[in-house]
Every structure is written in structure tokens, then in C-alpha cells.
């Protein structure tokens, strides 16, 4: 549908003409997602500076029947944050205020456009920390992280984004503002709108701010990188540490295929003198040094072939690099198909053993690289060597996930990438409920149409 001629001047009247970006070179950074697999074009990127401006933009789009794709740091991996069909991109990055920091209670109000690293820096200065952390911390924004219910490396200890959420401010598709930022730990008055919007991927409202709870900073870190026999040995070690040490913050797994790639692309030396099939990275953090306790527990674990331990930032970061640099190393090799799946922990070893075979049977040219959050049962199955539209391996992986009782999306969301497979793990009744919620909150279908559930 052609855009109304009045759209751009009226947008400029709301946000100022410098914040309606139409230059193709400037728009380009908003039109392609981080993976480079998903892209489209937009007539303009609109950059409001306040919740009131967001409300006015959304109200105008509703009036003119113009669809919107809300966007934060554009670090999404499922194509849900870039235009697909000439939608307007609504960039929330200028909503970058951190306010009402209650240093006694450990709560803070954060604008949608604040980068995770900025929030971390702000709250650490007061001996607090934020429970969610992930590798794209410098670019990922809090609004996008709430909208996608981002997970990351510390879900095991603190939960994902929805677990940090005490309140929300959002603009409904009518342009009305819902503001629930009370700073109350308990509040049982009616439907839990913040939780409904968490993980809704911009399809139900535009999140403009969140009230977040903080966790005490744990300054003493101990990181162990273990070479282990296999996934079963890795999970046994995770379970032993979980039961013994409440300070366990992260339990991450990767395999030789990924380690070799990371070492080559990032120029890192191999962590051990010989190669091993599977690697487990554990981090404990507390008020006191936990390294001796961690080493003690691991000494009794079976299936550990080699280990390296670090305390202090440089040593911990050095070990973390083998895990955290997977995403960029894979991306440097090509444009992967990225699957982000979760399995019941007891089925994770079987999945890991079968998935490479299932991928090879679907396309012998496929090159799978697995890594992820072992403690959460969450594996990132990245597949290189595929044509963009060859989804046979994706299909094979997601059907195996469904067969083993898992979910087709652990933490990246559905976006457009996983939508064709939603029926594998969400029943017809479940999808009907989602459609009903969508049409109640966005009756004109202007908010991120075609994401999560089909539009219309
Ligand atoms: C990660 O755990 O590193 C992220 O989810 C990114 C990715 O899957 O590539
Ligand atoms: Zn992840």
C-alpha cells in the first residue's frame, strides 16, 4: 500500500526533521539485522526522544494505517526487528535515560534505548548488578531485551528478562500510554501487563521503559574451563556444582568444531595442549573467592579430561573468550542459519548426539556448530554452508526438538525466522489464544505485523 504523502511531514512535526531518517545510507543500518540474513526496506526511520513522542508517532500511524517495526539495538537474531514489508522503523534508542535508581531497594527505571552495558556500569557503581548479561551488551538495549525476553549467560542464577521486570511503560497501538513503574515488589492488581509484553516482540505494544530489579554485585569471580568427555559428563559436572554451590552463575558448553573456529578467527591459542570433544565453562561469583570450593567439587566429578581455572578479570575474560566469541567467529565464516532451542536437561545429551546426523541427512553440505547455555538446556545450533532459503536442516532440527519435548525458541524469540514451526510446540488452542490477545491489543495490526503469529 502506498504511504500517505502527509506521513513524513507529520512525523517530522512530532520528532523534528533530523530524526526522520530517509537517506538510504543512513537507513541501511536499520534495515538489515545483525545476522545479515534478514533485511527489508523502510521509507523512514523515526527516532522519538520521549514516551510522549512515541505515543504521538504510534497514534499517527494508527490513524493513517501505517505499520511499525519497533527497534532497539538491532541485535535480534530472528528477523523480528527489521522491516520486511516497507514498515516504518521506530527506533527507541533516544529513550536513553536511567532514572529513579533506588539504591536501597535495588530497583531502577530504564529507558528502552539504554544499552545493557550502560545499565551495568551505572548500577555497579552502587554495588548492585543487573541479573541478565549477554555478549551483545554494548549494543543490545533494555527495551529490545524486554520485548524479546532475552536470556543470556546468567539465567541459571537470576532468570531471564521477565524475571527482572517489576513494571513497564508502554505505548498501546491506540497511542495511549500505560505506565506501571511503581517500584513495588508485590502488586496483584489485575492482569500482569508487564509480563504479557515481555517476549511479545513488539507485536502488542511499544515498550518505552522498564522498572527493573537488581541483584547484589558479586565481586569475586572464579571461572573454570573444563575439557570433558561429552554432554553427559558436562551436565553431570553442572549438576554437582549446582547442588554444592549457590554461587554458580553460568554453565556454558561448546564443542571442538566451535573452539577451532574461534581460535582461528579470533587468533586465540588453544586452551589445552590437546583437543577434546566437549568443553564446559563454569563461573561462580560471590562476596568471597569461590575458586577453592569450585575446584573441590570438580575434583570429585567424572569425565573431566583437563581444566583451567581463573580468578580476577583478565584471567576470567581470557577463558570466557573461547565461549563468547563463538557468535562473531561463526558470522565471520558466513551467514548461518541460527536455531536456538531448549530441551529438558535429561534429553539434551540425546539431542546433541542426534542433531548433527539429522542436519547432515537434510543437507550433506551443512556445517553445524553447537554451543550454548548447558545449565538452561539451551543449545544454539548454528548451521553454515546453507543457501538462505534451504530450510530442510532447520526443519530437521526443530522436528527433533519437538520429538524430544523441547521448545523451538529458548531465548531469541520467534520473529519471522521460527514462525513456520511454531505449531510444533504450541497447540492450536495456544495459538488461538495468542491471536486473540494480538487482535485485542492491536486491532488494526500495525505493530510488527507478521512476527510471532501470521498477520490477518
Ligand atoms: C549467545 O548465547 O551467545 C547468543 O544467544 C548469541 C548467539 O546465539 O549467537
Ligand atoms: Zn545465547
pLDDT at 238: 98
What are the pLDDT digits (tens) for 236-258? 999 999 999 999 999 999 999 99
Q: What is the CATH number of the domain that holds 243?
A: 3.30.70.2190
3-state secondary structure of 407: strand
Supply the residue whose CA is at minimum distance from atom 5 of ligand 1. Answer: 152
Do 299 and 317 reside in the same domain of the chain? yes
The answer to whether residue 456 scores a pLDDT higher than 80 is: no
**252 in a domain, yes or no?**
yes
Percent pLDDT > 90 in the chain is 97
Do 277 and 229 reside in the same domain of the chain? yes
- Domain end, chosen from 263, 293, 327, is at 327
Q: How many Å apart are CA 60 and CA 399, to the nearest integer?
A: 42
Q: What is the CATH number of the domain that holds 62?
A: 3.30.43.10
Query: Is 334:344 a contact under the CB 8 Å cutoff?
Result: no
Do 106 and 23 reside in the same domain of the chain? no
Do 309 and 285 reside in the same domain of the chain? yes
**1 in a domain, yes or no?**
no
Do 131 and 85 reside in the same domain of the chain? no
Do 153 and 224 reside in the same domain of the chain? no
Supply the residue whose CA is at minimum distance from atom 8 of ligand 1. Answer: 380
pLDDT at 184: 85
What are the pLDDT digits (tens) for 153-185? 999 999 999 999 999 999 999 999 999 998 788
Measured at the CA of 151, the angle between CA 426 and CA 84, to 5 degrees, comes to 65
Q: How many Å apart are CA 394 and CA 390, to the nearest integer?
A: 8
**411 in a domain, yes or no?**
yes
What are the pLDDT digits (tens) for 355-408? 999 999 999 999 999 999 999 999 999 999 999 899 999 999 999 999 999 999
Tell me the average pLDDT of the chain: 97
The DSSP line for 409-456 is BSSS--TTTTGGGHHHHS-HHHHHHHHHHHHHH-TT--BSTTSSS---
Nine cell digits for residue 352: 546433541
Query: Is 20:26 a contact under the CB 8 Å cutoff?
Result: no
**456 in a domain, yes or no?**
no
Do 322 and 412 reside in the same domain of the chain? no
Do 147 and 233 reside in the same domain of the chain? no
**448 in a domain, yes or no?**
no
Do 83 and 120 reside in the same domain of the chain? no
Do 104 and 84 reside in the same domain of the chain? no
Do 59 and 32 reside in the same domain of the chain? yes
- Domain end, chosen from 327, 353, 369, is at 327
- Domain end, chosen from 194, 216, 238, is at 216
Residues 6 or more apart in contact with residue 255 via CB below 8 angstroms: 277, 278, 279, 369, 370, 371
What is the extent of the structural domain holding 204? 98-216
Residue 193 has a CB neighbour count (10 Å cut-off) of 17
212 DSSP β-pair partners = 108, 165
Q: What is the CATH number of the domain that holds 125?
A: 3.30.465.10
| Phi, psi angles (nearest 5°) of residue 88 | -80, 135
Supply the residue whose CA is at minimum distance from atom 9 of ligand 1. Answer: 327
Query: Is 122:98 a contact under the CB 8 Å cutoff?
Result: yes
Distance 286 CA to ligand 2 centre (A): 23
Measured at the CA of 398, the angle between CA 396 and CA 401, to 5 degrees, comes to 110
Indicate the top mutation candidate among 33, 35, 134, 138 to test ligand 1's pocket, ranked by most ligand atoms within 8 A of CB.
134
Do 184 and 106 reside in the same domain of the chain? yes
**367 in a domain, yes or no?**
yes
pLDDT at 2: 75
Indicate the top mutation candidate among 371, 375, 411 to test ligand 1's pocket, ranked by most ligand atoms within 8 A of CB.
371
**436 in a domain, yes or no?**
no
pLDDT at 182: 84
pLDDT at 15: 98
Distance 369 CA to ligand 1 centre (A): 12
Strand pairing class (88-91; 45-46): parallel
280 DSSP β-pair partners = 226, 253
**437 in a domain, yes or no?**
no
Alpha helices by DSSP H, listed for 212-312, are 231-244, 256-266, 291-299
Q: How many Å apart are CA 447 and CA 449, to the nearest integer?
A: 6
The answer to whether residue 1 scores a pLDDT higher than 70 is: no
Distance 337 CA to ligand 1 centre (A): 12
End-to-end CA separation in angstroms for the chain:
15
What are the pLDDT digits (tens) for 403-442? 999 999 999 999 999 999 999 999 999 999 999 999 999 9
Closest alpha carbon to 398 in 406, 386, 390: 406
Distance 378 CA to ligand 1 centre (A): 10
| DSSP category for residue 32 | B
For the CA of 380, the nearest ligand: 1
Measured at the CA of 360, the angle between CA 359 and CA 365, to 5 degrees, comes to 110
**Structural domain tally of the chain?**
4
Q: How many Å apart are CA 430 and CA 406, to the nearest integer?
A: 16
Distance 329 CA to ligand 1 centre (A): 11
Amino acid at each position: 500500500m502506498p504511504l500517505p504523502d502527509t506521513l513524513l511531514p507529520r512525523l517530522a512535526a512530532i520528532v523534528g526533521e533530523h530524526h526522520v531518517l530517509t537517506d538510504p545510507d543512513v537507513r541501511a543500518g536499520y534495515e538489515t539485522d545483525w545476522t545479515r540474513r534478514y533485511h527489508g526496506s523502510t521509507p523512514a526511520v523515526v527516532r522519538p526522544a520521549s514516551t510522549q513522542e512515541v505515543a504521538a508517532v504510534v497514534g499517527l500511524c494508527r490513524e493513517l494505517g501505517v505499520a511499525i517495526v519497533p527497534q532497539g539495538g538491532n541485535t535480534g537474531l530472528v528477523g523480528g526487528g527489521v522491516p520486511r514489508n516497507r514498515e516504518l522503523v521506530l527506533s527507541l534508542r533516544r529513550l536513553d535515560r536511567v532514572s529513579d535508581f533506588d539504591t536501597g531497594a535495588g530497583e531502577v527505571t530504564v529507558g528502552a534505548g539504554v544499552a545493557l552495558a550502560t545499565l551495568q556500569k551505572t548500577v555497579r557503581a552502587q554495588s548492585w548488578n543487573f541479573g541478565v548479561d549477554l555478549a551483545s551488551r554494548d549494543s543490545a538495549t533494555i527495551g529490545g531485551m524486554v520485548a524479546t525476553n532475552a536470556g543470556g549467560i546468567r539465567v541459571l542464577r537470576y532468570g531471564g528478562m521477565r524475571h527482572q521486570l517489576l513494571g513497564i511503560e508502554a505505548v498501546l497501538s491506540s497511542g495511549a500510554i500505560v505506565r506501571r513503574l511503581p517500584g513495588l515488589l508485590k502488586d496483584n492488581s489485575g492482569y500482569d501487563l508487564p509480563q504479557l509484553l515481555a517476549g511479545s516482540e513488539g507485536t502488542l505494544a511499544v515498550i518505552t521503559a522498564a522498572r527493573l530489579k537488581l541483584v547484589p554485585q558479586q565481586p569475586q569471580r572464579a571461572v573454570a574451563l573444563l575439557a570433558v568427555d561429552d554432554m553427559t559428563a558436562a551436565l553431570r559436572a553442572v549438576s554437582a556444582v549446582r547442588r554444592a554451590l549457590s554461587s554458580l552463575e553460568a554453565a556454558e558448553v561448546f564443542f571442538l568444531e566451535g573452539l577451532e573456529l574461534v581460535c582461528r578467527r579470533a587468533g586465540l591459542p588453544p586452551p589445552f595442549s590437546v583437543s577434546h570433544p566437549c568443553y564446559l565453562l563454569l563461573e561462580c561469583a560471590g562476596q568471597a573467592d569461590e575458586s577453592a570450593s569450585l575446584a573441590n567439587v570438580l575434583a570429585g566429578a567424572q569425565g573431566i579430561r583437563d581444566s583451567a581455572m581463573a580468578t580476577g578479570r583478565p584471567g576470567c575474560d581470557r577463558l570466557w573468550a573461547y565461549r563468547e566469541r563463538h557468535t562473531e567467529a561463526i558470522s565471520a565464516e558466513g551467514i548461518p542459519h541460527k536455531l536456538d532451542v531448549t530441551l529438558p536437561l535429561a534429553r539434551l545429551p540425546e539431542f546433541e548426539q542426534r542433531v548433527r546426523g539429522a542436519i547432515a541427512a537434510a543437507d550433506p553440505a551443512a556445517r553445524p556448530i553447537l554451543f550454548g547455555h548447558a545449565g538452561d538446556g539451551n543449545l544454539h545450533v548454528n548451521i553454515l554452508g546453507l543457501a538462505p532459503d534451504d530450510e530442510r536442516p532447520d526443519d530437521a532440527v526443530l522436528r527433533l526438538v519437538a520429538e524430544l519435548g523441547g521448545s523451538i525458541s529458548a531465548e531469541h524469540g520467534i520473529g519471522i525466522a521460527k514462525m513456520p514451526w511454531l505449531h510444533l510446540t504450541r497447540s492450536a488452542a495456544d495459538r488461538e489464544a495468542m491471536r486473540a490477545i494480538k487482535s485485542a491489543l492491536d486491532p488494526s495490526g500495525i505493530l510488527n505485523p507478521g512476527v510471532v503469529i501470521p498477520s490477518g
